[in-house]
Amino acid sequence: MKNKKLILAVVIGLALLGAVFLWLFNSGAPKQETKPEQTNGTENVKVKNSSLKEERDGKLVWELQIGEMEYVKKTDTNVLKDVKGKWYREDGSFLTISSEGGSVAMAKKDVVLKGKAQAALSTGGEVSADEISWLHSEDKITATGKVRIVKDDAVATADKATTDTGIENLRLEGNAEVQKGAGI
């Protein structure tokens, strides 16, 4: 009986994890059936050491390795630990991300990476910070805390930076400094 409950919990957790990432990248509203079914309505669901990917029309869209994910029903948030992955862009380039942890706010579709957060474009450009957020509604990246951005032959540092997903348009705030030709 215990084995059946464990298997059911693992299946529900994996289904939830897959649904969350499909929802994030298809821009559709989350459906009620993507939340885990609970026996008493207060339990959280955890999934450890998972690997996910999405393909569309035979092309890989994204792939992730997550050390642990926990859906917190009370706040409708997924809490992530040890996140690594790649998002493939339509122009053939890809974005590699990593962080010690983070979260996904289900209602707003906002993603926050925390703890040694890094994002790097394969075509050039890197962002590292204490925290990197992707605001779905604005398709904007905001980095805070010891921000360092490298693009072409320039290095920018600041307390806060806001940029587009291609790291083309950049706004720096607080102790901002840009060095061009910094011998990168």
For the stretch 107-112, contacts whose Cβ atoms lie closer than 8 Å and that sit 24 or more positions apart, written own/partner, are 107/76, 108/136, 108/137, 109/23, 109/24, 109/27, 109/136, 109/137, 110/134, 110/135, 110/136, 110/137, 111/24, 111/136
- Of 28 and 58, the structure prediction assigns the larger pLDDT to 58
Could you tell me if 123 and 93 are in contact, meaning their C-beta atoms sit under 8 angstroms apart?
yes
**Mean predicted confidence (pLDDT) in 160-184:** 84
- Of 35 and 140, the structure prediction assigns the larger pLDDT to 140
User: What pLDDT is attached to residue 60?
Assistant: 83
CATH 3.40.50.2300 fits 49-180, yes or no: no
Whole-model pTM?
A: 0.68
Task: Pick the closest to residue 141 from 170, 115, 114 (CA basis).
Answer: 170
Neighbours of 162 (CB within 10 A): 19
